[in-house]
Amino acid sequence: MVEAMSTHAATAPHTTTAAESAELAVVTRAGLAESRHVGSAVLVGPDGEVMTRVGAPEGIMFPRSSLKPLQALASLRVGALVSPEAVALACGSHVGSERHQNAAATILARERLDESYLKCPVAYPARSADLEAHIRADRIETPLAYNCSGKHAVFLAATRTQGSRLATYTDPEHPLQQMVTKVYTEYCGEAPTTLGVDGCGAPAAAMSLTSLARGIGRLSSALTKRDAEVHAFTVAQAMLDYPWAVRGVGEPDTVVIEQLGLLTKSGAEGVLVVAAPDGTTAAVKTLDGSGRPNHLVALSLLAAAGKVDLDDLDRTLKILVPPITGGADKRPAGDLRLSEAVTSQL
C-alpha cells in the first residue's frame, strides 16, 4: 500500500545507507584521490533481469525527475492531445530558455490556459545568457522558466481532456495522479512505497533503483517491440527527436541523446537513468546527491554490455567529463575515473 504524501521519518521505509553503498567514481589530483563518489548502480537487460549491480540498487530512493517519461506516458494515456515536441518537453528538466518557455506556453494556449494555472514554482532561466536576455526584456520570474513547466503544462492538457479539476491536478488523489501511479506499477514492476512532494509540487514516488531502471527500460523498448504500448513509443521517440527539450543544447542529457541515441533522464539528488532502444538500461544514484560521476558510470555499464560503441563512448565522455586542469595554460591536474567497484563489473 502506498503511503500518500508522507514525510514522517518514523514511518518512512528504509533507504540506502553509506555502509550498503559502494564507491562509484574517484576524482584524482596528482595521483591522489581528492573526492570519492559513493552510491549504487544497476544494469538491467531487455526483460528487466539484473545484469550488473554495484552497491545496493534494491534500496529505496526517490527517482525524482528521472520518472518524467512515465509521467508523460500517463498523461497521454488519459488523453492529452499534444505534439511530439510537447511530449519531449514534458519528459524534460529544461534550462528555462526562451525556446523552452515558449514551448510550454504553446501547450497551455492550445488548452485556452495560461501560466497562472501552473502549480510549479516561479524561476529565472538557469543559464547566464538566457538569464541576461530575460532580464534585458524586463521579464520577471515565471513558472514557464521552471524546469518542470513542460510536465505541468501537459498535466494540465491531460486534465482538461479528462474533464477533472484543473486546480488540484498535482494532488495524489487526483485521477491524473492515480494514473501516474498505475503506470509506475505496471512499468516498474512495483507500486511506489511512498509518495512525497517533489520540488515542483507534484507527487514524488519512492522505489528501488532497480525498479526505476526496469520502468524506463520497458518504455525505451517500445522503440523495438511491436507489441509495446503506443504511448510508450510516442514518448521514447519524442525524446530522441527533440533532445533540446529534454534539457538544453550542450547539456549532458541532451548530449547523450544526440550523440548516442539513448533515452537519458537525470533526476535531482544524483539520479540518472540511461536506456538503449532494446530496453537494456543503466541507473545510478549517488548518496550525496552529486551528479558528477553519473554519466560516466551509466555509459560505461552500457558499453560493457555492448550497447554503446567504444569510440562513440570515448567521444561523448570527452564532452561530458572534461579533464581537471590548473593554471592559465590549463595544465592537466587530475581526472574523474571509475572506481574499482565499477571496473570489476565491466
Once rounded to an integer, what is the mean pLDDT over residues 189-214? 97
Query: pLDDT at position 14, please?
Result: 80
Q: What is the pLDDT of residues 85-128, one digit of tens each?
A: 999 999 999 999 999 999 999 999 999 999 999 999 999 999 99
Which residues in the chain belong to E strands, given as ranges?
22-29, 32-44, 50-54, 60-61, 194-197, 203-208, 263-267, 271-275, 281-286, 324-326, 331-338
Once rounded to an integer, what is the mean pLDDT over residues 56-83? 98
**Banded pLDDT at 1 (limits 50, 70, 90):** very low
Task: Please give the Cα distance from 218 to 71 (Å, whole number).
Answer: 14
In this model, does residue 324 exceed pLDDT 60? yes
Once rounded to an integer, what is the mean pLDDT over residues 30-57? 97
Cell of 95: 534550462
Query: pLDDT at position 12, please?
Result: 56
Task: Please give the Cα distance from 243 to 92 (Å, whole number).
Answer: 9
**Banded pLDDT at 10 (limits 50, 70, 90):** very low
Query: pLDDT at position 287, please?
Result: 97
**Banded pLDDT at 336 (limits 50, 70, 90):** very high
Q: What is the pLDDT of residues 252-298, one digit of tens each?
A: 999 999 999 999 999 999 999 999 999 999 999 999 999 999 999 99
Query: pLDDT at position 34, please?
Result: 96
Once rounded to an integer, what is the mean pLDDT over residues 212-239? 98
CA distances to 19, 99, 264 from 244, in Å: 38, 9, 12
Query: pLDDT at position 35, please?
Result: 96
Beta-bridged to residue 285, according to DSSP, are: 40, 271
Chain mean pLDDT for the chain: 96
**Banded pLDDT at 11 (limits 50, 70, 90):** low
Once rounded to an integer, what is the mean pLDDT over residues 182-191? 97
In this model, does residue 214 exceed pLDDT 70? yes
Of the chain, the end-to-end C-alpha distance in Å amounts to 37
Q: What is the pLDDT of residues 154-167, one digit of tens each?
A: 999 999 999 999 99
Tell me how long the chain is.
346
Letter for the amino acid at 188?
C
Question: Could you give the domains of the chain?
Answer: 22-343 (3.40.710)
Give the distance from CA 289 to its chain's centroid: 14
**Banded pLDDT at 2 (limits 50, 70, 90):** very low
Once rounded to an integer, what is the mean pLDDT over residues 195-224? 98
